[in-house]
Amino acid sequence: MVCTAALLISAILSNLGVDHPIQAVLGLGTVALSLITYLFFGVAILHTDSHATLVGALLLVAAVSLLFGMFGRVALPIGVVGTAAEGALFVTHVAIGYRLMAEPDSRDHADLSPETVAE
């Protein structure tokens, strides 16, 4: 969040005519931290029963979309590649949000008995 906020501030400053080399570092930091977050949470959800498996798979799709959006232009120098990857990232975010909203509320589950907690 800090990198993203700093990136937003640097974009505003850039539009005002103030350019600084730290913008590239902030952009790379934002992408790297987002990628790590997608990968770690996607794998964690797939290995646990905390959320539906679909949510973990969608997070991994988001990681691939992010990578393809950043580096896909190198493999395929077509301007549409970045737009398609960003579109896929948007769709995965919407699907994740919809899937999480459709999950049953965790407060609906019964409380664990003291014997179960002790094990």
Q: What is the pLDDT of residues 59-101, one digit of tens each?
A: 899 898 888 877 776 666 666 777 787 788 888 989 988 988 8
Instruction: Please state, in angstroms and rounded to a whole number, the distance separating the CA atoms of residues 88 and 94.
Output: 10
Classify residue 78: in a domain, yes or no.
Answer: yes
Considering its fold, how many domains does the chain have in total? 1
Spatial contact of 3 and 26, defined as CB atoms under 8 Å apart:
yes
Task: Please give the residue range of the domain that contains residue 78.
Answer: 34-103
pTM higher than the cut 0.85: no
Spatial contact of 84 and 39, defined as CB atoms under 8 Å apart:
no
Classify residue 48: in a domain, yes or no.
Answer: yes
Residue 89: closest CA among 32, 38, 29, 28? 38
Classify residue 117: in a domain, yes or no.
Answer: no
Classify residue 74: in a domain, yes or no.
Answer: yes
Classify residue 1: in a domain, yes or no.
Answer: no
